[in-house]
Amino acid sequence: MIYENWMSYIKDETKITQTVIPGAHNAGSYTMKKMAECQKDGLLTQFKYGVRQFCLRLSENKNGEILLAHGVTKGDFFENALKDIKEIIDNYPSEILLLDIREYQPQKFGPITLKYKASPEKVDALLKQYIDPEKNAFYDFDRIGGVTLGEIRKNGKRFILINEAQSYRFSKPCEQIIPWDIKVNGMKAENFRIHSTDFFDTCHTEGFYWFQTQQTPNPFTQVGITPPARLDESLRPYFPEIIGKIAKTESYLSQANIIAGDFMTRDYMKSELILRLNLLKNNVKENLRKEYAEGLKWN
């Protein structure tokens, strides 16, 4: 299998926004309680299952230590996630990571707004200690839609540090779109499978297109307050249909970029289906197409 080095098969001239990349929704939730847990394993394991885009949200504990967060739920120390990223950087030179890192956004519940704090200075210090963005981050660009994999490789860079507010040194406010709707993402699996791809009809960007394949538990929706693991269990049988619709619809395929989901390490099914879209988009080096296709087979 090629999940640990699949990017080495992609042509240099392929734009990063046209590469089809498996992403991990709430990648840092792997130690959290069931209602907040969207991934079972840490970042290194997620990487080995093909994930290259990591959604990491941060908060602080009462001691001022930076933790991974999902709303009010706090998880592992941020530095443990960075240790995994460092191991990837040190051992997998062909792979490029998209690190979407930010303080957890404020949440409004009726008249109450919950705000979260993660000191940018402390985050910067941890980033410098473990993954050295000055050396490894690709940041010398104006428009992410024009950046190719070859350009990143030529500069010897290993990741893009995505942060809209440029809260950290060497972070970039990349143009991106993250389509989400409480009604659509709150649908039961049999309805979500039909309507989730409707976003490709109405949402467009020349930047990162971050398509989320997971349902979202919310009050007053079809799924209500249901643990993500249970939602994933009901949706998994329909996942091939969702990706298949992207594969068969030219306008959807042309926009396909980051395709994220929950529980990306249960097996390789999600990553395989997502990564096969690179073949349809002609992103794979011609002399390696057969090897790439064979290497994705897991079952």
The CATH number of the domain holding residue 234 is: 3.20.20.190
Longest Cα separation, the chain: 59
Helices (H), the chain: 43-48, 78-91, 120-130, 133-136, 149-154, 182-185, 189-195, 199-202, 228-235, 239-248, 250-255, 269-275, 277-280, 289-295
Considering the chain, what is the average pLDDT of its residues? 96
Q: Residue 289 domain-assigned? A: yes
Given this model, what pLDDT does residue 115 score? 76
Q: Residue 1 domain-assigned? A: no
Provide the domain count of the chain. 1
* Type of residue at 230: R
Given this model, what pLDDT does residue 299 score? 82
Instruction: Give, for 103, the enclosing helix (H) or strand (E).
Output: strand 97-103
Q: Residue 253 domain-assigned? A: yes
Residue 185 CA to residue 183 CA, distance in Å, equals 6
Residue 238 CA to residue 232 CA, distance in Å, equals 10
Determine the structural domain holding residue 34 and report its residue range.
6-295
Q: 171: which residues sit within 8 A by CB, 6+ positions away?
A: 101, 133, 137, 139, 161, 162, 163
Q: Residue 284 domain-assigned? A: yes
Given this model, what pLDDT does residue 285 score? 98
Q: Residue 75 domain-assigned? A: yes
Q: Residue 171 domain-assigned? A: yes
Given this model, what pLDDT does residue 118 score? 93
Task: Give pTM, 2 decimals.
Answer: 0.96
Given this model, what pLDDT does residue 109 score? 64
Given this model, what pLDDT does residue 105 score? 74
Cα dihedral sign for 162, 92, 240, 145? positive
User: CA-CA distances (angstroms) from residue 39 to 26, 36, 103, 298?
Assistant: 7, 9, 19, 20
Q: 194: which residues sit within 8 A by CB, 6+ positions away?
A: none
User: CA-CA distances (angstroms) from residue 161 to 18, 99, 248, 279?
Assistant: 18, 5, 32, 27
For the chain, list residues with pLDDT below 70. Answer: 108-110, 114
Q: Residue 28 domain-assigned? A: yes
Q: Find the length of the chain.
A: 299
